[in-house]
């Protein structure tokens, strides 16, 4: 059966190595398997759940498209568009928010993390964010959703919403129940400064992450300053699991080199971190610098990026408008 792939990325700043290894690298592989229909969405409606500078948001939308293309997503094979340009997303999100239950949303850990201590001041959009995500996925009858580990709970919620809608309106299979595609080993890349925290765009220190737009010197410097521990490189998985910073760096190496974690452990067992860091820096430069150079080049081609978004939006609109029409009929509008 043909896989229908859908995934989204927020245009909230430079994409980083976590986005790349957790999600985009997977998008590229799925895009290259000819039998799949792929849709990759720049989720600008999700971005405004926290304050955004309008001009910066506008630039970041193009920046995200540039990162998709530079990483190897082919706009001839995949639909690339921004969410705000297809009104069915907002409409379906409202209808699905009448299906989703407060109790379900109250369990979402990402809202708790993002809202922080002062939940009263968080936007309603930030709270209902996973419902919009469900709308994104369900409008396209998506069968598979490639994401990093942090989105797992949101995908479970999406499945619950789809199931409840089908049950409430007694239409079997109207919404397809999507499968998450989460890599086993490298689905959560951690901060270079703290192995217990996720690598993130919102972390204040730029030294905590490798951005897809970093230069060679920035990569060299960030890996040199990346936190380690005083012991030599671990020689077993059990040992690795007790050393979060070492684990993160070895996972990054394995994912970039496309080799199993066990193989990397064997390769570096007992070596000094300085020796390992040199090899890690080399592979990062090898894989990330071509992407970084291409992003910079594409950012000067605004008209080309806008054309891709426009064409992608037309194709997405064509699919989503048919689904929302059926949703209207089912609901009784």
Among 5, 42, 65, 133, binds ligand TYM (CB under 6 A): 133
Q: Is 170 a known active-site residue? A: no
| Stretch of 73-81, 146-154, 219-227, 229-237 contacting ligand TYM, by CB under 6 A | 146-154
Tokens of 311: 């064409």
Cβ closest to ligand TYM, residue 46 vs residue 277 = 46
Catalytic option among 4, 25, 198, 323: 198
Q: Could you tell me the smallest distance in angstroms from the CB atom of residue 16 to ligand TYM?
A: 7
Name which of 92 and 137 has its Cβ closer to ligand TYM. 137
CB 3 within 8 A of CB 35: yes
Distance of CA 232 to the CA centre of its chain: 33
* Number of residues in contact with ligand TYM under rule CB under 6 A: 24
Write the burial class of residue 35 (CB in 10 Å: 0-12 exposed, 13-18 middle, 19+ buried).
exposed
Give the whole-angstrom CA distance, residue 284 versus residue 192. 14
DSSP 74-99: -TTTEEEEEGGG-THHHHHHHHHHTT
Q: Which stretch binds ligand TYM (CB under 6 A): 15-23, 161-169, 215-223, 298-306?
A: 15-23
The residue among 283 and 301 lying less far from ligand TYM, judged by its C-beta, is 283
273-299 helix and 302-331 helix, angle to the nearest 10 degrees: 90
Catalytic residue among 77, 114, 227, 287: 114
Per CB under 6 A, 63 contacts ligand TYM? no
Of residues 61, 108, 138, 145, which one binds ligand TYM by CB under 6 A?
145
The one-character DSSP state at 203 is -
Least distance to ligand TYM from the beta carbon of 136, Å?
4
Does residue 298 bind ligand TYM (CB under 6 A)?
A: no
Q: Which of 65, 80, 93, 137 binds ligand TYM (CB under 6 A)?
A: 137
Is-catalytic flag, 277? Answer: no
Q: Which is nearer to ligand TYM, 187 or 281 (CB)?
A: 187
Tokens 């765009």 belong to 201
The tokens of 244 are what? 């979060």
Does the annotation mark 201 as catalytic?
A: yes
In 3D space, the residue among 318, 330, 327, 309 whose CA is nearest the CA of residue 83 turns out to be 309
CB 179 within 8 A of CB 144: yes
d(CA 275, CA 255): 19
Give all strands of the β-sheet with 144-146 in edge-to-edge order. Answer: 78-82, 37-42, 4-9, 144-146, 179-181
Q: Which is nearer to ligand TYM, 67 or 292 (CB)?
A: 67
7 binds ligand TYM (CB under 6 A): yes
The reply to whether 80 sits near ligand TYM by the rule CB under 6 A is no
Six-digit token pair at 87? 């009104």
Residues 188-227 as x/- pattern, contact with ligand TYM by CB under 6 A: xx--------xx----------------------------
Angle of CA points 19, 108, 116, to nearest 5°: 80
**Is the CB of 189 or the CB of 284 nearer to ligand TYM?**
189
| CA-to-CA dists, residue 146 to 52, 173, 277, angstroms | 26, 21, 29
Helix (H, G, I), strand (E, B) or coil at 8: strand
Q: Pick the binder of ligand TYM from 5, 14, 18, 212 (CB under 6 A).
A: 18
245 is an interface residue for ligand TYM by CB under 6 A: no
Are 126 and 111 a contacting pair, CB within 8 Å? yes
Binding of ligand TYM by 148 (CB under 6 A): yes
Q: Does 178 bind ligand TYM (CB under 6 A)?
A: no
Q: Which stretches of the chain bind ligand TYM, using CB under 6 A?
A: 6-10, 18-19, 22-23, 43, 46, 133, 136-137, 145, 147-148, 150-151, 187-189, 198-199
So which residues are the catalytic ones?
114, 198, 201
């Amino acid at each position: 059966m043909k896989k229908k792939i859908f995934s989204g990325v927020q245009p909230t700043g430079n994409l980083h190595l976590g986005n790349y290894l957790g999600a985009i690298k997977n998008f590229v592989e799925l895009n290259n398997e000819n039998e799949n229909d792929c849709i990759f969405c720049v989720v600008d409606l999700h971005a405004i759940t926290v304050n955004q500078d309008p001009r910066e948001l506008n630039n970041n939308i193009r920046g995200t498209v540039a990162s998709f293309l530079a990483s190897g997503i082919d706009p001839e094979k995949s639909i690339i568009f921004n969410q705000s340009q297809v009104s069915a997303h907002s409409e379906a999100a409202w209808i699905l928010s009448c299906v989703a239950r407060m109790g379900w949303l109250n369990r979402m850990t990402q809202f708790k993390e993002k809202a922080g201590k002062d939940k009263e001041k968080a936007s309603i959009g930030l709270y209902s964010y996973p419902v919009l995500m469900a709308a994104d996925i369900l409008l396209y009858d998506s069968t598979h959703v490639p994401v990093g580990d942090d989105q797992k709970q949101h995908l479970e919620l999406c499945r619950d919403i789809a199931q409840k809608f089908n049950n409430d309106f007694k239409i079997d299979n109207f919404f397809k129940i999507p499968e998450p595609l989460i890599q086993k080993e490298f689905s959560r890349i951690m901060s270079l400064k703290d192995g217990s925290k996720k690598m993130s765009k919102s972390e204040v220190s730029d030294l905590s992450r490798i951005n897809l737009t970093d230069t060679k010197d920035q990569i060299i410097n960030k890996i040199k300053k990346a936190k380690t521990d005083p012991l030599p490189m671990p020689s077993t998985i059990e040992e690795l699991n007790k050393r979060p910073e070492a684990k993160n760096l070895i996972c990054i190496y394995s994912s970039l080199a496309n080799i199993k974690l066990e193989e990397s452990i064997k390769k570096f067992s007992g070596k000094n971190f300085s020796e390992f860091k040199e090899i890690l820096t080399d592979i990062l430069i090898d894989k990330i610098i071509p992407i970084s150079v291409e992003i910079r080049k594409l950012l000067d081609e605004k008209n080309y990026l806008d054309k891709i978004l426009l064409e992608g939006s037309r194709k997405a609109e064509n699919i989503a408008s048919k689904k929302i029409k059926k949703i209207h009929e089912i609901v009784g509008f």
